[in-house]
Each structure stands twice: as structure tokens, then as C-alpha cells.
Amino acid sequence: MSAPFHQKTAERGNIIDGAGYAKSLRDRLAVHVTNLKEAHGQTPCLVVVIVGDDPASQVYVKSKGEMTQAIGMESRTVRLPDTTSEDELLKLIDDLNRDNVVNGILVQLPLPKHMSSLKVIDAINPDKDVDGFHVINAGKLAVGLDGIVPCTPLGSLMLLKDAALAHGDTLAGKNAVIVGRSNIVGKPMAQLLLNQDCTVTIAHSKTKDLAEVCRAADILVAAVGRPKFIAGDWVKDGAYVIDVGINRIELDGKGKLVGDVDFDGAKDRALAITPVPKGVGPMTIACLLNNTIKAFCLQNHFPVPEGV
């Protein structure tokens, strides 16, 4: 087993360095891309589709394109106006499904209100669904088959495993509480932690005594999308805390990014905790690159590189 990336140091304390882990993952993936090119003369190709002009989505999509290219893969971005009809988007996906050069298709979420994200995701060929959102990939994860795993939960699991390893610990047998039941984070995160032999609870807006449920968590994953929703005293002493939330708030007249956890209140209780920014967020894009390489190898019947 490799040495843990996350080490408790004087500067970092118990703060999980998601940005640093993501960089080291991208460096490893760049080596795989070079090796695949040398061995097969082919390069994985990712197409990202964005509809509309949501400013945060524009930033993420730009970053996806840059990072895809930076590790040596081919990147294409399709930008559509928010007047695009659902049928036009479905037609584009159909074309991309049929294009043999394209290995990965990602439709940036959220979509404009006149589109059904379930319908759009369902139209993507599951083999090219590098987000891992298609019902076939969700089903594979649920029954323990190898498929494409959603990027944010996959990145969160990598950080958790690494933090546990740094403490000479494992995830098996731990009480994991996930606050949030979305299809793209909460539910797949629960499946991943179940597969690690955790005892898993999914909590949500109707959960009774949420604070008490959280206080019982050895692993607490916050994915509610509400700034500082999880108070510091909801965190058990010695818990691993993964904060998936990325919320933009105004503080002293300035824009600021905060997570779903009250970081200052939680950090002295947690054994290890992800910050916002530079925690889970950067792992989302690094795992997208990981998934694109995996999809490329599976489509071409090449061996999937170890660790991908």
C-alpha cells in the first residue's frame, strides 16, 4: 500500500489537503495518458457540454477543459445558449454517442429549468458517462459491479481513505453519516462507504434529531448545499469530516466560499477535515480525468491502469 498523502504537519494540522491530493492524482494520470499514447497511439477525448451562462458552471467547465489538456488528453467544450431546446441537446448527445473519437461525455449541471436532467443523463451512452450518473452506472455501484463512479463521491472516498491511512486507521466498521440524499453525491457516497464495510446512515431535511445523528458519526459527510448548516458541536471528537458543500456567501461586503460545515467550530473536534475551498472541489475534476481514462480503456479493451 502506498504511503498516505495526508500527513498531520505543523502547518496543515488536521486539515485535509484536497488540492494537493488532486494535483498528485493528476500527475499520476498524466503518466498513464503518456503510456497509453505510446502503447496504442491513441489519446482519450472528453467532451463537456454546457447549456446557459451560469457563472460558477462556466468556471468549472473552463477548468475541466484546461486540466484535461494539461494531462495530455483531448478536450472539447460545446457551449449552448439557454434557449437550446431539450430535443436539440438530446440530438447533440446522440451525435456524441456515435462519434468514435469521443470517449467521455459530460453535461454540466445544473441544466436550465426547461430541461429534465434525468432525461438528458439517460440519453448518454453509459460507457461514455464519465460523470457516473447514468442509471446503469448507479445500478452497477449499488450491486457492487465495476462501473464509472460519480466524481465527487469518488474523490471524497480517496481523501477519506488517505486520511485514515495517515492515522494507521481503516474505514471498516465505522459509523458513517451522510447528510444529503442527492443522486449525484449522497446516494453514491453511501454505496461507496457501504462497500468499505461502514455502517451507513443517510440523513436529510426530514431526519429527526439531526444533530444527535451527526454526533454519532465517526465519518461525517456533509452534502446539503446550505452554508455552515452543520454546527461545530454536531461533530464527534475524533471524527473524519468531509465537506462537499460549496456555497457562495457575502461577508463584510465581499464574496466568500464556505462549506456546509461550520469549519471553525468543527476543526478542533475533527481528527481530519476537508476545508472549503481546496478540499473536495479539486478532487471532482481530478476524478473526472480518472473516469475518462477508465472509459477510454474499457471502450478499447485496453487494460485499465492500476489505481484508475
Ligand X SMILES: Nc1nc2c(c(=O)[nH]1)N[C@@H](CN(C=O)c1ccc(C(=O)N[C@@H](CCC(=O)O)C(=O)O)cc1)CN2
Question: Can residue 14 be called a binding residue for ligand X (CB under 6 A)?
Answer: no
CA 19/CA 29 separation, integer angstroms: 15
Question: Can residue 188 be called a binding residue for ligand X (CB under 6 A)?
Answer: no
Q: DSSP strand E in 2-144: where?
A: 45-51, 74-80, 104-107
- Which residues define the annotated binding site? 180-182, 246
Decide if 184 contacts 149 (C-beta within 8 A): no
Tell me phi and psi for residue 21, to 5 degrees: -65, -45
Identify which range of 53-61, 80-88, 170-178, 204-212 contacts ligand X by CB under 6 A.
53-61
Which residues are CB-neighbours of 291 under 8 A, at least 6 positions away? Answer: 104, 130, 131, 132, 148, 149, 151, 154
Name the minimum Å distance from CB 162 to ligand X: 17
Question: What are the C-alpha distances in Å from 76 to residues 25, 69, 71, 306?
Answer: 22, 10, 14, 26
Name the minimum Å distance from CB 205 to ligand X: 20
Give bridge partners of residue 46 from the DSSP assignment.
Answer: 75, 104
Question: Can residue 17 be called a binding residue for ligand X (CB under 6 A)?
Answer: no
Name the minimum Å distance from CB 246 to ligand X: 5
**Binding-site size, ligand X (CB under 6 A):** 19
Which residues form the catalytic set? Answer: 64, 108, 131
Name the minimum Å distance from CB 212 to ligand X: 29
Question: Can residue 21 be called a binding residue for ligand X (CB under 6 A)?
Answer: no
CA 135/CA 63 separation, integer angstroms: 27
> In the numeric block, which cell numbers belong to residue 251?
461577508
Which residues are CB-neighbours of 307 under 8 A, at least 6 positions away? Answer: 28
Of the pair 30, 109, the CB lying nearest ligand X is at 109
Question: Can residue 151 be called a binding residue for ligand X (CB under 6 A)?
Answer: yes
Residues 66-125, interacting with ligand X (CB under 6 A): 106-109
Question: Can residue 129 be called a binding residue for ligand X (CB under 6 A)?
Answer: no
Residues 232-291, interacting with ligand X (CB under 6 A): 246, 257, 276-278, 281-282, 284-285
CA 212/CA 111 separation, integer angstroms: 35
Of the pair 84, 210, the CB lying nearest ligand X is at 84
CA 246/CA 44 separation, integer angstroms: 29
- Which residues define the annotated binding site for NADP(+)? 180-182, 246
CA 254/CA 267 separation, integer angstroms: 24
Of the pair 242, 276, the CB lying nearest ligand X is at 276
Name the minimum Å distance from CB 168 to ligand X: 28
Of the pair 36, 223, the CB lying nearest ligand X is at 223
Contact positions toward ligand X, by CB under 6 A?
56, 59-60, 106-109, 131, 151-152, 246, 257, 276-278, 281-282, 284-285
